Structure 1
Amino acid sequence: MKPVLPLLLFILIPVSGCIERFYPDIKDYENMLVVEGSITQEHKPYQFYLSHSFPFDDYRAEKESGAIVEIEDNDGNKFPCHEKKKGLYESSPDEFTGRAGKSYRLHITTRDGLHYASDWVTMRSTPEIDSVFYEYREGDLRADYTRLQGIQIYVNTHDPSNKTFYYRWRYTETWEFHVPYTSLVKPNADVCWRTDSSRNIYIASTIGLSSNLLQRQPVVFIDNSSNRLAIAYSILIRQYSLNDQGYQFYKTLVENNQATGTLFDTPPSQAAGNIYCTTDNRIPVFGFFDASEVKTYRLSVKRENLPGSFYTTNGYDFCRLVEIPEQDKEQLNSYYRQGYQYYLRYFNSQLDKWMVILVSEANCIDCTIDGTNVKPSFWPY
């Protein structure tokens, strides 16, 4: 048995060494223009975000301001996009709306005189969404050996014309929430709604399937770590069609984002976009300009429709009330310095003192800090 020990040491030492963290000294990076935006058939402003890539150890993307952004159609018409805030450019729906079957390309001229243009893209038709539904389930096992609960949103869709093989989804979600304490000075501040949009990439392909049909396509998992499912929740799914180049672009982004950052990962690859610098083709640019019809489907769910064992936070577990005699200025000031807010004042006849009640955060009594108290027009409940 003596020869076994050296062999084990030889195996274990390299393996344990491979899992040590490695912090590379990255001094140079490629500063490139980053372009985000697309057009649809919807009669609304189309938005384009212009920014720059940033170093590995920085998280602030520099916005590209003062650029000239235009959409050109295959009839030679150009439609300007106006800068609404730094780095954000919008078209005017009164001047331009996309149409399926027509071709478009994007033009950008930066303030330093560089011109960028996209490939011509033809706006594709998009099949209708057959249905959207949810199923209650538990999430994956986490590091603390617990599992999040929630609902998995699924999409069913197909293309009877057999022309669409690549799909992309985005969503806008809205949920109702209630604050734990009612404001005594601001009316209608205890029930609100909040809206957010998808940030991840959701794509799928029917290539290789026996039919051009997607059934039970998972889109997003809504878990109980927030108050989204505490009262009522509504999600608007937006479905787009992609061409092969667009699908490969987003697929590469998904694969790069899923990498865990270990030495065993496949090295990240450059997502090949369709926007180029025409002033100097050696200057890199990152982005993909796309044109697609969009089809939508709304799904809503109330907390009472979920299993009785389902638990979700109300989002205000941090809220606290403290009661302090009004004359105790030192203690009052101490809480004020901690961020507590005035809630109410009353006379305690048993103590024969005026008392002040403070609340730990202003948004514990005012829901309009985190949302709006105007019920959305589509709200079903």
Structure 2
Amino acid sequence: MVKRLFYLLLLPLISCIDPYEVELEEGAQLLTVDGMITTEPGKQSVRLTRSDTYGSVFEGLIRPVSNATVIIRDNTGKVVFLEEEEAGIYWTSENFATEVGKTYTLQIQTSNGTVYTSLPETVQPVPEINSLSVQTIRTPVEGEEIDKSGIQVVAEITDPADQNNFYYWESAPAVYVLRTRPDLYTPRPSDTNTSREPQPKDCCIVCFRTETVNEGVFIAQDDNFNGLTTKVPVAYIEDDGLRFITTYRADIRQISISQEAYRFLKLVKQQTEISGSVFDPPPATIRGNMINLENPEETVLGFFMVGSETQRRIYIDQSDLTFAQSEAIIPDDCRLSDGADIDPPADWNP
């Protein structure tokens, strides 16, 4: 009887609890500029977005900035207008390229009339990549019996002695031989097909898959190797059980950048490598080289980079690895995988 009376007294208290609604102020919409132009001829792009620091429950966190006027101006007065071909992505002409020794500035006028400009960036020469080699990297994973692994690409370069050089490496789209198991194909249940019986496909087992992999920020300055030949890590490619079954082709871009761009990328690298330790530096907003002409105090994210570029290609065979992940199984036609094609690239030459 006492317990029943206690429950009856408690019910009104429970029913009178109202949900507490938290209202957050909408975060500032920060303009972000992502663009790099180099001496490599071709269509080159600048991407404009706006991001919220918080608010809206992270809804629409990144928004493209469309209908802006975007131009690149060099120190001789030449002006190039970029065209918006995708929402927020503005492209140069087909054969655009920077020239060593020239200085370039990015100027943006948004649809509401606000004008932004970058600080001038001068193109510095870049040495060739003498050679590329690979080494296997194994990383123990807590609670797992099998290590995480991948390939580190190492470049040998001869640094010029007569100048202070800053380097940035990026991986161009890579191609690898993708092998799948269409003979193991089993359709998923649907309204018209409830069978779970295997239905092997006749084709296709081998395709060539194109992907873009940029894991980490790879930069260097020549303080410790000025005028010397040295080897530097320039890329990391994780072994996912598919990439290194047979042959993987990587193209490495070596780009000269300014000291200011190097400092910016170094801060980005530090932020992306935060591990969650109490010794990590606190996260911070990293300002780039873009400013609002009417309101210089406005925070603009990103950096407009200008550089000279050289590339080198390497083919990686499974035999080059000292440790490999177990082969992953895709039980379907290889042509249905993203970026896959039955025909090899015209310049495929392992």
Report the TM-score when normalising by structure 1: 0.73
| Structure 1 residues 43 and 28: alpha-carbon distance in aligned structure 2, compared to 1, 3 A threshold | same
**In the alignment, structure 1 residue 201 sits paired with structure 2 residue 217:** yes
Q: How far apart, CA to CA, are the structure 1 residues paired with 2:41 and 2:239?
A: 35
- Paired letter, 2:345: P
Task: Give a deviation string over 1:145-185, Cα, whole Å, max 9, x none.
Answer: 43123332111112234324211100122211022126999
Residue equivalent to 2:34: 36
Q: Answer yes or no: is the 8 Å Cα contact 1:126–1:240 preserved in 2.
A: yes
Per-residue deviation at 1:205?
Answer: 1.6
Percent sequence identity over aligned pairs:
25
In structure 2, the residue corresponding to 1:256 is in which secondary structure? helix
Residues 297 and 26 of structure 1: CA distance in aligned 2, closer, same or farther (over 3 Å): farther
- Say if 2:141 is the partner of 1:142: yes
> Match for 1:375: what amino acid?
P
Partner in structure 2 of residue 78 of structure 1 = 79
Q: For 1:310 and 1:262, locate their aligned partners in 2 and report how far apart those are by CA, in whole Å.
A: 30
Relative to structure 1, the CA distance from residue 310 to residue 274 in structure 2 (aligned partners, 3 Å threshold; closer, same or farther) is: closer
Residue in 2 that maps onto 1:90: 91
Deviation at 1:212, TM superposition (A): 3.7
CA displacement 1:265-290 (0-9 Å, x = unmatched): 32223323111111322322112112
Q: CA offsets per residue over residues 49-104 of structure 1, 9 Å max, x none?
A: 1111233563741111111111111121211110111011100035x431111111
Deviation string, structure 1 residues 103-131 (Cα, Å, up to 9, x no partner): 11001111121111111111111111111
1:276 matched to 2:318: no
| TM-score, with length taken from structure 2 | 0.79
Q: Aligned letter for 1:310?
A: A
**Partner of residue 49 from structure 2, selected from 43, 48, 51:** 51
Matched residue pairs, number? 307
1:344 corresponding residue in structure 2 = none
Per the alignment, in what secondary structure is the counterpart of residue 288 of structure 1? strand
Structure 1 counterpart of 2:345: 376
Contact 1:67 1:111 in 2 (8 A): yes
Matched, 1:302 2:303: no
SS in 1 for 2:341: coil
Tell me the amino acid that sits aligned with residue 266 of structure 1.
P
Which among 367, 373, 377 is matched to residue 335 of structure 2?
A: 367
- Give 2:251's match in structure 1, choosing from 236, 243, 267: 236
Unaligned runs of 5+ in 2: 1-22, 186-198
Cα distance change, pair 260–28 in 1 and its aligned pair in 2 (3 A): farther
Deviation for aligned residue 1:263:
5.0
How far apart, CA to CA, are the structure 2 residues paired with 1:303 and 1:210? Answer: 32
Q: Is residue 292 from structure 1 mapped to residue 261 from structure 2 by the alignment? A: no
Q: 1:225 to 1:97 in 2, by over 3 A?
A: closer
Check whether the contact 1:192–1:368 (CA below 8 A) recurs between aligned residues.
Answer: no
Match runs of 1:329-348 below 5 Å: none
Gaps of 5+ in 1: 1-24, 320-363
Partner amino acid, structure 2, of 1:104? Y
| Helix, strand or coil at the partner of 1:249 | helix
Superposition deviation, residue 133 in structure 1: 0.3
Aligned 8 A contact 1:32 1:284 in 2:
yes
Change (3 A) 1:253 1:276: same
Displacement, 1:262?
5.1
Structure with the bigger RCO (C-alpha within 8 Å, sep 6+) is 2
- Distance change in 2, residues 1:373/1:27 (3 Å): farther
1:144 maps to amino acid = G
SS in 2 for 1:250: helix
Match in the other structure for 1:313? 327
CA distance in 1: counterparts of 2:347 and 2:256, whole angstroms: 26
